[in-house]
Chain A
């Protein structure tokens, strides 16, 4: 049998390593370096120390963007962790037409978020279908400013995110539920445990791994929210830019021929740190639980 050359393993891992270096590490380190400069497109910029970071502290827009992103995360994590589980429990059962219902719940996932957000912006317009219906039913006298008020805009965008993400996380839970031990359910039922008790003591532990994963994924995507708010607010972030997310702010600051690439890079680094923190916390909590188990 012919032995491998010494470089064979290196050759095998080379595509992956090159990919990570070129598309992951190099842009990241470039972003960190740029964050200490006053670079603009077509201008290399000069080193300005911590000036960009100092500016973040006094930037009113950053305050709004951080608030928006954090609220988005805090609201989306429980909604997109619990609701898909409940839906998965509903569609897990084998009943007639169940495939239709599963497909229906999954359908928003395959629709383009831009198209969906555009449709929602028409629906929630002051002269849109929702306001028309509310006024026709006498629920409101004047149109609800869904798209031109800070909090309404945020609520509308969160609803859109939840509606669109529900089916995706439902599928993750369905996979986890499919692997759960059915005999434990039967044993618990025989021991007199009710449906809610079985949910708490059997179902939840069975899907805990999936739940942690979903919380992590939702935390990342909520902090990175862009398309929903961008389309619903027509790129303005709402009046005062108060409903702007961090990614929207980075895009606004850094894009175009005159974009402030240095400051946008500093914002990106801060977003990196902010994104890492809740994920590390979730991972740490999960580790402690595993250790106890």
Chain B
């Protein structure tokens, strides 16, 4: 009986430990936003960046903090978080009420924080800001169901299409007439997959919500429901399935395990990828042989707009200074100076984004110069393709269902219907 009791205790202990892994808790009370304040600034503000403390960017930030302190008397305490696990880190900070005063947040991460009331409405704090920034970037921090704007655009980016011209020519592809629509791209993948017997995949990932969005498929309706289970989207998945069968998409793409597109492109394992303009220098440094035959073209379909910005914690103890620093960090002069180091990115202010000549100053690599030119052009029409309501769990579910569709185990329309149903059921209200 004693052994039985012991085992029961073991069971209980193991199971307790097992089930003690979920979090959750009460949200901090939303703080009232305040005005910019007109009093004299003082004290210290904590600024958190996302993987920017390195030999490239550190000198820029240190100089910026020094000049801000000289102008305002406010010291900046710099925290930098590693690239991996940023969301979790921010969540832990928000849960414990210890968000830094100024925090680097892209719109999708800022969204749940704004909903929880832990970010300052910067538009309410300073209504003159809105006209300063590129409209698409500014609007990226306004969310459905919330009044206000919860971040200030810092720098913007988009990506391009990169083609391994040398390899594609081997399979009869005319590199002067590369695809300009997603349909043509998938068709090319099918053709090259068939002719290379799967040795040269063109696509190395499954359809994404970005792909649907950039192909003109409506992703959400005005009521805030996901609606991309259209015949047009199903046709794209059908086409993808045919390309997969032909070897134009590697099997590992079904679990997203084919590695990064760009890495595979550099290794010569895939003939197409999307990447930012800095990919040119990466290629020149790490894959010089492949770089010789690489062609850069505008992103197929609508170009995506990547927005990085800074938000101010609603419960900041030094709110006026925090807002002042956020505005200082994102003013035109500082954004332009930053984008000269972060080559390929563009300032988020209207004035800064017009100053395109300075963005390529000092760049000598021809391919990169061409890529920067494409970025500047693409930014005119780039837009945020992924809605902020699209969560990680939804993406995982989409990957799972589309994998079945590509394998032919379920129909494309059925897969899309299931994904849309799942997304609408699990929407963050």
Contact A236 B22 (CB under 8 A): no
Question: Which of A105-113, A195-203, A266-274 contacts its partner?
Answer: A266-274
A178 at the interface (CB under 8 A from B): no
Beyond A39-B24, A256-B393, A265-B24, whether A280 also contacts B403 by CB under 8 A is no
A276 at the interface (CB under 8 A from B): yes
B116 at the interface (CB under 8 A from A): yes
Q: Mark B1-37, 1 if CB is under 8 A from A, else 0.
A: 1011001101111111111111111111000000000
Residues of A within 8 A of B112 (CB): 40-42, 257-258
Size of the chain A interface, CB-CB below 8 angstroms: 65
Contact B14 A290 (CB under 8 A): no
In Å, the complex CA distance between A40 and B26 comes to: 9
Contact A121 B257 (CB under 8 A): yes
A239 at the interface (CB under 8 A from B): yes
In Å, the complex CA distance between A70 and B220 comes to: 38
- Residues 77-130 of A contacting B (Cβ, < 8 Å): 121, 125-126
CB distance from B403 to the nearest CB of A (A): 4
Which residue of A24, A143, A236, A253 contacts B13 across the interface (Cβ within 8 Å)? A24
Nearest residue, chain B, Cβ from A262: B24
CB distance from A211 to the nearest CB of B (A): 13
Residues of B within 8 A of A143 (CB): 251
Contact B18 A259 (CB under 8 A): no
- Residues 347-400 of B contacting A (Cβ, < 8 Å): 391-393, 396-397, 399-400
Contact A42 B116 (CB under 8 A): yes
Which residue of A255, A272, A290 contacts B15 across the interface (Cβ within 8 Å)? A272
CB distance from A237 to the nearest CB of B (A): 6
CB distance from B393 to the nearest CB of A (A): 6
In Å, the complex CA distance between A45 and B27 comes to: 9
Nearest residue, chain A, Cβ from B390: A258
B401 at the interface (CB under 8 A from A): yes
Which residue of A42, A147, A256, A257 contacts B255 across the interface (Cβ within 8 Å)? A147
CB distance from A59 to the nearest CB of B (A): 10
Contact A280 B1 (CB under 8 A): no
A194 at the interface (CB under 8 A from B): no
Which residue of A239, A275, A283, A290 contacts B407 across the interface (Cβ within 8 Å)? A239
Contact B396 A23 (CB under 8 A): no
* Category for how many chain B residues contact A: 35 or more
Beyond A41-B24, A268-B21, whether A126 also contacts B409 by CB under 8 A is no
Residues of A within 8 A of B13 (CB): 24
Beyond A256-B87, A287-B1, whether A28 also contacts B409 by CB under 8 A is no
Q: Mark A210-238, 1 if CB is under 8 A from B, else 0.
A: 00100010001000100000000111111
Q: Mark B109-126, 1 if CB is under 8 A from A, else 0.
A: 100110110100000000
Contact B24 A45 (CB under 8 A): yes
Beyond A240-B409, A283-B4, whether A148 also contacts B27 by CB under 8 A is no
What are 27 A-B residue pairs whose CB atoms fall within 8 Å in the complex? A25-B16, A27-B22, A28-B16, A34-B22, A41-B112, A45-B24, A121-B257, A148-B254, A148-B403, A216-B10, A234-B255, A234-B257, A236-B255, A236-B400, A237-B400, A239-B254, A239-B255, A252-B392, A254-B23, A256-B88, A257-B90, A257-B109, A257-B112, A257-B113, A259-B393, A261-B23, A276-B11
- Known contacts A41-B94, A241-B400, A268-B22; 12 further A-B pairs (Cβ under 8 A): A31-B21, A41-B112, A148-B403, A212-B7, A234-B255, A236-B399, A238-B403, A256-B392, A257-B112, A276-B15, A283-B7, A283-B8
